[in-house]
């Protein structure tokens, strides 16, 4: 199809229409080549990219993809990875999907990625402003002592073993643990300790002589001390294991359990102090027993009375400690129950917010799809109308060219036809005066034809007088051949 170039504006005076028009079709490479020759004077130029099936508008520096923009909406911009993150233009509402594991470029520190610029394939990057972006991980990480994440509940056997520091102890596993059972057994043992019933009674021994009786009592003291030491070692190990589990749980609940952690630390200090007092009592009793072994037989009755009082004091201390431990466990269990209830309520509220957001997003997507469908229908109708107008313009131009050829032929047959031909160079938007010196009967009585690179072009023409006229082009051109025919 023949083409005609226009180097001036065409004004339809707000009444004309272009029917059947089709925008210039270009490939990716053709659009790149076209962009290299455009500038600020070409702002608004529209092309249709046949490879991407999208409209692009020249902004003065680049071809920008034309699309429906909704203020405040989320716009998916494609993939992002550490190799191209430095070239993107950050804007609030832009969303990307990471396709390669690595670290995103912060553009010399102008962009802050939260919680981190380190990403994995499948992560979502959402820009909340031109300088901040949130990174949503595609999966949940395991909780550690320095970061939140998922946790696994310990089984009863794992609680009893006490060797894994990444599992969480529940109230039921703590209640059924070997630690609780051992405490119960020791309480029973302590309650059944043999004591003297009073001064002057017989010794609780099977010996038949005084020396053997003393030796038997000493052996019982040694056995009792061994049991106390073993219980102390077991209690310290159990308390260390319990503290380790409590510390692991406290780490995962750091944002909400500060009060509970403070109480646990205070309890540890109190328990350590109480154990120190108990150890002091045991050490004092051991020294007293050793000293008593060197006493004469006639002091045994006095020693027995003293031992009875000391045993009673020890039993009182043990009973007091057992009661305190049970009370402390009750407080701890109550705090754990309170935290569990609070966490359940928070999870329910969060789920409600997620459900509401899903509903809003679904409605917004429906509205957006409706707008896209409407825009597509309007674009199809506009394309059809533009193509119809171009076809009509083409037919009119062909008819006008035919009529002009007839007129030129008729004029050339007359002896008084005046002609002028010359080559000219035109500067963009600068009028060029052509002095043809034909002496026309009227300053408007002429026909002019302009050719450039084998194609007829259209210029803005203004007649000055019977011997001159001016032409103006919207772009700079060289080697333009101008033919003027007049009477």
Q: Tell me the DSSP string of 278-332.
A: HHHHHHHHHHHHHHHHTS-GGGHHHHHHHHHHHHHHHHHHHHHHHHHHHHHHHHH
- Going edge to edge, which strands form the sheet with 418-426? 5-6, 455-458, 446-452, 477-486, 418-426
Between CA 335 and CA 337 the distance in angstroms is: 5
| pLDDT at residue 197 in the model | 41
Place of tokens 């007649």: 463
Between CA 115 and CA 137 the distance in angstroms is: 10
SS3 236: helix
Task: Report the sign of the C-alpha dihedral through residues 265, 267, 271, 273, in that order.
Answer: positive
* Averaged pLDDT, groups of 10, the chain, 487 residues long: 73 77 92 94 93 91 73 73 78 86 85 89 88 81 68 84 81 78 64 43 62 73 82 87 79 67 74 80 81 79 87 92 92 92 93 94 92 92 89 86 70 69 94 94 92 91 95 93 92
Q: 81 is written with which tokens?
A: 């990875």
Between CA 11 and CA 288 the distance in angstroms is: 119
| pLDDT at residue 43 in the model | 93
Place of tokens 């970061």: 147
Between CA 316 and CA 328 the distance in angstroms is: 18
Helix, strand, coil tally for the chain in percent (to 5): 50, 20, 35
Put residue 471 in one of left, alpha, beta given phi > 0 → left and psi -120 to 50 → alpha: beta
pTM over cut 0.95? no
How many angstroms separate the first and last alpha carbons of the chain?
34
CB 292 within 8 A of CB 220: no
Dihedral angle over CA of 198, 199, 205, 211, nearest 10: 160
Q: Count other Cβ atoms within 10 Å, centred on residue 130.
A: 13
Of all helices (H) and strands (E), which one includes residue 397? helix 300-412
Sequence spans of domains, the chain: 19-65, 75-136, 152-362, 414-486
CB 163 within 8 A of CB 153: no
Between CA 465 and CA 443 the distance in angstroms is: 5
Query: Angle of helix 178-191 relative to helix 300-412, nearest 10 degrees?
Result: 170
C-alpha 34: how far from chain center: 38
| pLDDT at residue 300 in the model | 81
Between CA 413 and CA 373 the distance in angstroms is: 60
C-alpha 122: how far from chain center: 11
| pLDDT at residue 142 in the model | 67
Between CA 296 and CA 463 the distance in angstroms is: 148
């Amino acid at each position: 199809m023949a083409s005609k170039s226009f180097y001036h504006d065409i004004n339809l005076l707000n009444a004309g229409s272009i029917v059947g028009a089709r925008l210039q079709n270009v490939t990716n490479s053709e659009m790149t080549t076209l962009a290299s020759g455009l500038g600020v004077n070409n702002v608004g130029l529209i092309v249709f990219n046949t490879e991407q099936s999208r409209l692009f508008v020249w902004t003065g520096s680049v071809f920008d993809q034309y699309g429906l923009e909704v203020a405040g909406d989320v716009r998916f911009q494609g993939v992002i990875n550490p190799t191209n993150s430095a070239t993107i233009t950050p804007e609030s509402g832009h969303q990307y999907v990471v396709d390669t594991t690595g670290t995103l470029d912060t553009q010399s520190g102008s962009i802050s990625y939260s919680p981190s610029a380190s990403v994995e394939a499948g992560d979502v990057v959402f820009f909340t402003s031109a300088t901040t972006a949130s990174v949503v991980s595609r999966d949940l990480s395991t909780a550690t002592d320095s970061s939140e994440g998922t946790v696994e509940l310990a089984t009863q056997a794992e609680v009893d073993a006490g060797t894994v520091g990444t599992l969480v102890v529940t109230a039921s596993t703590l209640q059924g643990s070997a630690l609780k059972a051992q405490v119960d057994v020791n309480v029973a043992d302590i309650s059944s300790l043999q004591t003297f019933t009073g001064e002057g009674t017989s010794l609780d021994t099977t010996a038949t002589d005084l020396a053997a009786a003393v030796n038997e009592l000493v052996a019982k003291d040694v056995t009792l001390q061994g049991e106390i030491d073993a219980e102390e070692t077991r209690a310290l190990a159990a308390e260390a294991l319990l503290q380790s589990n409590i510390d692991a749980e406290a780490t995962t609940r750091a944002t909400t359990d500060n009060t509970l952690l403070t109480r646990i630390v205070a309890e540890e200090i109190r328990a350590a102090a109480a154990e120190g007092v108990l150890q002091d009592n045991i050490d004092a009793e051991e020294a007293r027993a050793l000293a008593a072994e060197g006493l004469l037989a006639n002091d045994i009755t006095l020693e027995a009375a003293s031992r009875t009082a000391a045993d009673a004091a020890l039993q009182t201390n043990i009973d007091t400690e057992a009661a305190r431990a049970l009370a402390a466990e009750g407080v701890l269990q109550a705090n754990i129950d309170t935290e569990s209830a609070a966490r359940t309520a928070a999870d329910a509220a969060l789920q409600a917010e997620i459900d509401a957001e899903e509903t809003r997003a679904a409605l917004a997507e429906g509205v957006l799809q409706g707008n896209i469908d409407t825009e597509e229908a309007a674009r199809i109708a506009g394309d059809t109308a533009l193509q119809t107008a171009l076809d009509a313009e083409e037919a009119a131009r062909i008819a006008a060219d035919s009529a002009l050829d007839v007129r030129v032929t008729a004029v050339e047959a007359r002896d008084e036809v005046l002609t002028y031909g010359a080559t000219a160079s035109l500067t963009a938007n600068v009028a060029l005066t052509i002095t043809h010196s034909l002496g026309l009967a009227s300053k408007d009585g002429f026909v002019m034809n302009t050719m450039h690179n084998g194609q007829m072009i259209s210029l803005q023409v203004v007649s000055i007088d019977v011997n001159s006229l001016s032409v103006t082009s919207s772009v700079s051109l060289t080697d333009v051949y101008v033919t003027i025919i007049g009477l």
